[in-house]
Amino acid sequence: MAIRLAFILLILSLTCQAQTSSDSKKQKASITIKHSDKLKQDESVGDNIKLLIGNVELIHENTIMYCDSAYVFGDSSYVEAYNNIHIIQNDSIHLYGDYLNYIGSIGMAKVRDNVKIEKQDITILTEFLDFDRVNNFGYYFNGGEVLSGDNNLISDLGYYYPDLSEVHFKDSVVVTNPKYTIFSDTLKYHTVTEVASILGPTFIISDDNIIYSEDGYYDTMHDKAKLKQKSYIQGTEQLLKGDTIYYDRNNGLGEAFNNFELHDTTNHIIIKGNYGYYNELTEYALATDSAQLLQIYQRDTMFMHADTLQAIPLPEENSKMMKAYYNVKFFRKDMQGRCDSMIYDFRDSTNTFYNTPILWAQNNQMTAQTIKLYTKNQTMDKAELINSAFIVSPEDSLLFNQIKGRNMTGYIRDNELYKIDVDGNGQTIYYPKDKNLVIGVNRAESSNLTISLNNRQISGIKMRIDPNGNLNPPYILPTEDVRLQGFIWLESIRPKSKLDIFKKVDLPELKELTKVYDDYKFGDDEEEGQ
């Protein structure tokens, strides 16, 4: 039984050895000499070495090799070839050079000096190229150049995969195109689609803009891109950012998702949102989903939130407008506000607030059906309150200075109101002081008023037409006598920080303010009686 088992094991061992020998022979298929003008094989050449001279043609499996001369080492399937090297792999890949070191046992061709590899859709130029014909890929490691369509690509290190139609570039990658130049750390390029996959820090520089990304792709054939990490597009006046950016160069379109930002460096504004759209040709922009506008002044920045923000170009006047609409709220240190919609006109640097607007400037609360805020040299200059204008300033927690009229203009200096002109149906209630003590309550009426302010306090009133007024001791008049019709104190809904502009709260006060405008308007008859 033991003898029989040993015999079976011996048969199995011999079978395995025979299979291994067969596989080895398959892997080391001999190199066939197809042609040579002259063959030399003697002691002067070397043992078992053939020297081929003139129009040499060699075949190894599916690879054909041409050269001027070659040494063929018979036992090792090893070849050294010189001058006019031409290798044809699978009838599709052509490899050229001046020197070849070919190791047939592993299918490795090492080509040196004036190296060129060609396929239908690509040309690679280098001085050092190793080509693994078994796994069908080649790589250069001392600088190379790739020609594909309109693109010229160079790098220190490159891998070419013909089956995938891909070249992988590493270190000092430069892609030159008639429209732009790409500088990258790591890049993957598809030779058929001409799409460059961005795998590391990459700049795409053109006459129109600079694109930066660390992940994504650029379709060089159609000039379209998807940028996914730390990406931005820097134009001459605008900077576009986003977690994900889709860019169409031909149409000038940029679309960004999550953390969208558009910086207008000329007009000192920034538009933000979780979705944004920008056309660099027309300069139209849109932001939604947590949309925010940052308007940068010399001393401060205004933070504004709305459901939707738009930048609308005015090409005939070489200018533009900014529109914010629905649930507008804004904050800056010296001024805050709310309204339903807002338009900023770059032509005259005017912010116009519509539909129950409220502005708070220091201690002053300003309301009207429409409010216009003018700026000069990036500083506030004046505010116009149009229709049902009302300004309230608290004297303390119970007493409120009030100014009311059809229209008002408030003049601003050093970010503070210093004068207010009231045009039509002017009414005031204010509390004069002596040594910071309230000495009375003054109620005055006149069609037109001019009110002077000093240190945020009323310092004087000029009544121009049909003046009427009285001074009463403080704290003795009933509430209805120290509140002008339409008085509403709205401090509870005032944004106290730039984060407050995103707070969603129920605002019954705004409904009350709307009712005031509906119920209390200056009628035509009243205007005609002035």
pLDDT digits (tens, 9 = 90+) for 214-244: 999 999 999 999 999 999 999 988 999 999 9
SS3 letters across 305-333? ECCEEEEEEEHHHCEEEEEEEEEEEEEEC
Of 87, 116, 145, the residue at which a domain comes to its end is 116
With respect to residue 358, please indicate whether it lies within any of the assigned structural domains.
yes
> What per-residue confidence (pLDDT) applies to 514?
67
With respect to residue 142, please indicate whether it lies within any of the assigned structural domains.
no
With respect to residue 526, please indicate whether it lies within any of the assigned structural domains.
yes
With respect to residue 286, please indicate whether it lies within any of the assigned structural domains.
no
Name the more confident of 2 and 423.
Answer: 423
pLDDT tens-digit readout, 115-172: 999 998 899 999 999 999 889 999 998 999 999 989 999 999 999 999 999 999 999 9
> Has residue 291 got a pLDDT over 90?
yes
Of 116, 142, 159, the residue at which a domain comes to its end is 116
> What per-residue confidence (pLDDT) applies to 515?
64
SS3 letters across 146-202? EEECCEEEEECEEEEECCCCEEEEEEEEEEECCCEEEEEEEEEEECCCCEEEECCCE
What is the count of structural domains for the chain? Answer: 2
15-25 core/surface letters (b: 16 or more CB in 10 A; e: else): eeeeeeeeeee
Q: Using CA atoms in the order 395, 397, 401, 407, what is the torsion angle rounded to 10 degrees?
A: 130
With respect to residue 140, please indicate whether it lies within any of the assigned structural domains.
no
Of 65, 100, 116, the residue at which a domain comes to its end is 116
> Has residue 511 got a pLDDT over 80?
no
Mean pLDDT of 367-385: 88
> Has residue 523 got a pLDDT over 50?
no
Q: Which domain holds residue 68?
A: 29-116
CATH code for the domain of 437: 2.60.450.10
With respect to residue 138, please indicate whether it lies within any of the assigned structural domains.
no
With respect to residue 121, please indicate whether it lies within any of the assigned structural domains.
no
Name the more confident of 352 and 449.
Answer: 352
pLDDT tens-digit readout, 308-329: 999 999 988 888 999 999 999 9
DSSP letter string, 53-105: EEEEEEEETTEEEEEEEEEEETTTTEEEEEEEEEEEETTTEEEEEEEEEEETT
> Has residue 20 got a pLDDT over 50?
no
For residue 47, count other CB atoms closer than 10 A to its CB. Answer: 10
